[in-house]
Amino acid sequence: MTKLFKSSFLFVLYAYLYIPIIVLIANSFNQSRFGFHWQGFSMRWYEALFNNDSLLTAAGHSITIALLSATAATAIGTLTSVALYRYRFRSKAMVNGMLFVVMMSPDIVMAIALLTLFLALGFSLGFWSLLAAHITFCLPFVVVTVYSRLNGFDKNMLEAAKDLGATEGTTFWKIIFPLARPAVAAGWLLSFTLSLDDVIISSFVTGPDYQILPLRIYSMVKIGVSPDVNALATLLLVASLFLVVLAQLLLKDKK
Amino acid sequence: MKHTNTFRNFAITLIVGWLAVFVFVPNLMILVTSFLTRDDVNLIQYTFSLDSYLRLFDPLYLKVVFHSLKMACVATGICLLIGYPFAYFIAQMPKRWQPLALFLVIVPFWTNSLIRAYALKTILGMRGLFNWSLMSLGIIDHPIRILYTETAVIIGLIYILLPFMVLPLYSSIEKLDKRLLEASHDLGAGKLQTFWRIVIPLTMPGIIAGCLLVFIPAMGMFYIPDLLGGAKNLLVGNVIKSQFLDTRDWPFGSALSVMLTLLMALLVFIYYRVGKFLNKKVELHD
């Protein structure tokens, strides 16, 4: 009885998480334009998608930003974790505090703060402002992931490396980085996901010249999203799943 | 020894520089802006004033703030109520199934939350999947109006934010030492008593983290009310957004943000204190 209860509870919650996605995927193959009424299987929205340049460009921009910001946030975040773990420095409290501020302040506050900054600096809104914003909001998540992994290490190993004459750079590349790699990979994936999913901050810090997917959709949503967006979302979901499964398989082989 | 300093200095300069430019300065600017005056041409005028803060006490805005608080509290409460057993049951699964179960919690994130919210909108509509199913099953004979109500906003917030509750809860439940539960049973505690006095206090860090990760975005998430809520269900996020993008009253928008941030800081502080207090209680009971 309890087992039945548990399984059905889990089933209901997974259903809650997945039904909208299933409806979205189904609609991408639906002949009908409106609502969920099934009018036959069709690939017409996929065809429409491949003729919809502005939507494809926006998707391309989103993926570019996600790849670049995840990589940069992971690099900076990993260095930050190493510095917080290894060194004492005067601004350490400030670094911790600022990371906490990024984590804890609502997205909308960060969005307007960055908008104010970019306007005050006379920075034109677009690719660079978007990239800087995404790197910043991903940063604490990388730091938390990597730092918790570093914390489990035996510090004697680092002492040994030092005694054997390794410089800080060598210690980082030969010892810390390889050991922290799973956490670094997890941080990258988390950043990539966060960047791709962000609506709030992006909608403030990008300009008309650099359209990204969420904003393109946001401007369509009020009138009703055309089903080629469903087709695009389906393709992106499949691509992400494929990449993650591939990454898992590659990591397993290494063991 | 020179090399030592190069790496160390590079790392520290990079992060301190980045955080100063993209976090410290912008937040300071918001704080300063909130004390300035609105200007139709240049957005802000450098005259000091407390007007923006006084306007916060306008019943119109107070109402929005209380409404947001209520919605965020309800969403967080329901997320905790359903997220806790969710995480608990996942943690009880056979070890090899757990990564898959967690993976399935994360997968929805790869579809942009705006698109998912839109999908939810088509489901909750008068002629959507939800009403259709209930009517086909004969549970109702007229479609229920859900879209553009508070319920729809709550459903949307929970839908988007539930994973943020489940993941931290799972990681703290998973760490729980099973021997403590056995010990509690051996000492004669019932299941319920063990749960209240052992499991809950020990997983408090996960509960706190989960609640914060849900509550904070719930206050500021403007696109869920935009899509699902209709005009009466604005949240603070919507008001801030419109002050910046439509009304162009930056000082007032900034004051609202400062207030929101202070509210969050206060909550974090309370949660932190409660967590500490509970941990102490556990220690005393040992």
Lowest pLDDT segment from A35-44, A200-209, A237-246, B110-119: A35-44
Q: Is the CB of residue B3 less than 8 Å away from at least one CB of chain A? A: yes
- Closest chain B residue to the Cα of A80, Cα to Cα: B15
Q: Is the CB of residue B85 less than 8 Å away from at least one CB of chain A? A: yes
pLDDT above 90 (res A12)? yes
Q: What is the pLDDT of residue A57?
A: 92
- Do the chains contact at A196 and B110, CB–CB below 8 Å? yes
In 3-state terms, what secondary structure has residue B48?
coil
pLDDT above 50 (res B117)? yes
pLDDT above 70 (res B284)? no
Q: Residue B118 class from Cβ within 10 Å (0-12 exposed, 13-18 middle, 19+ buried)?
A: buried
pLDDT above 60 (res B4)? no
Q: Which long-range contacts (CB under 8 A, 24 or more apart) does B128-135 make?
A: B128/A35, B128/A36, B129/A19, B129/A23, B129/A36, B132/A36
Which 227-246 residues of chain B touch chain A by CB within 8 A? Answer: 227, 236-237, 240-241, 244-245
How far does Cα B148 stand from its chain's mean position? 21
Q: What is the pLDDT of residue B199?
A: 87
The whole-angstrom distance between B187's CA and the closest CA on chain A is 24
- Which span out of A1-10, A24-33, A112-121 was modeled with the highest average pLDDT? A112-121
Q: Is the CB of residue B175 less than 8 Å away from at least one CB of chain A? A: no
* Residue where the block lists tokens 């990564």: B99
pLDDT above 80 (res A35)? no
Do the Cβ atoms of A58 and A213 come closer than 8 Å? yes
- Do the chains contact at B105 and A17, CB–CB below 8 Å? yes
- Do the chains contact at A136 and B22, CB–CB below 8 Å? yes
> Which of B18, B115, B260 has the CB atom closest to A217's CB atom?
B115
- Do the chains contact at A117 and B22, CB–CB below 8 Å? yes
> Which of A23, A87, A236 has the CB atom closest to B12's CB atom?
A87
- Closest chain B residue to the Cα of A38, Cα to Cα: B129
Q: How far apart are CA B50 and CA A66, in angstroms?
A: 40
- Do the chains contact at B22 and A200, CB–CB below 8 Å? no
Q: Is the CB of residue B76 less than 8 Å away from at least one CB of chain A? A: no
Which 248-277 residues of chain B touch chain A by CB within 8 A? Answer: 250, 253-254, 257, 260-261, 264-265, 268
Lowest pLDDT segment from A58-67, A77-86, B16-25, B231-240: B231-240
pLDDT above 80 (res B14)? yes
pLDDT above 50 (res B1)? no
A23-28: average pLDDT: 88
pLDDT in tens, A119-160: 989 888 999 999 999 999 999 999 988 988 888 787 888 888
- Of the pLDDT bands very low, low, confident and very high (cuts 50, 70, 90), residue A16 is very high
> What's this model's pTM, rounded to 2 decimal places?
0.87
Which chain A residues are within 8 Å of B245, Cβ to Cβ? 204
Mean pLDDT of chain A: 87
Q: How far apart are CA A16 and CA A238, in angstroms?
A: 20
Strand positions, DSSP E, chain B? 37-39, 43-45
Q: What is the pLDDT of residue B286?
A: 47
Q: Residue A141 class from Cβ within 10 Å (0-12 exposed, 13-18 middle, 19+ buried)?
A: buried
Question: Where do runs of H (alpha helix) occur along B175-249?
Answer: 178-186, 191-194, 200-202, 204-220, 223-224, 236-245
- Of the pLDDT bands very low, low, confident and very high (cuts 50, 70, 90), residue B171 is confident
Count Cβ atoms below 10 Å from residue A201 Cβ, excluding itself.
Answer: 24
pLDDT in tens, B74-107: 999 999 999 999 999 999 899 899 989 998 998 8
| Whole-Å CA distances, B170 to A166, A182, B10, B91 | 39, 19, 37, 6
Lowest pLDDT segment from A29-38, A45-54, A83-92, B231-240: A29-38
Q: How far apart are CA B3 and CA A245, in angstroms?
A: 40
- Closest chain B residue to the Cα of A215, Cα to Cα: B114
> Which of A17, A104, A221 has the CB atom closest to B227's CB atom?
A221
ipTM of the complex in this document: 0.87
Which chain B residues are within 8 Å of A200, Cβ to Cβ? 220-223, 237
- Do the chains contact at A112 and B119, CB–CB below 8 Å? no
pLDDT above 70 (res B279)? no
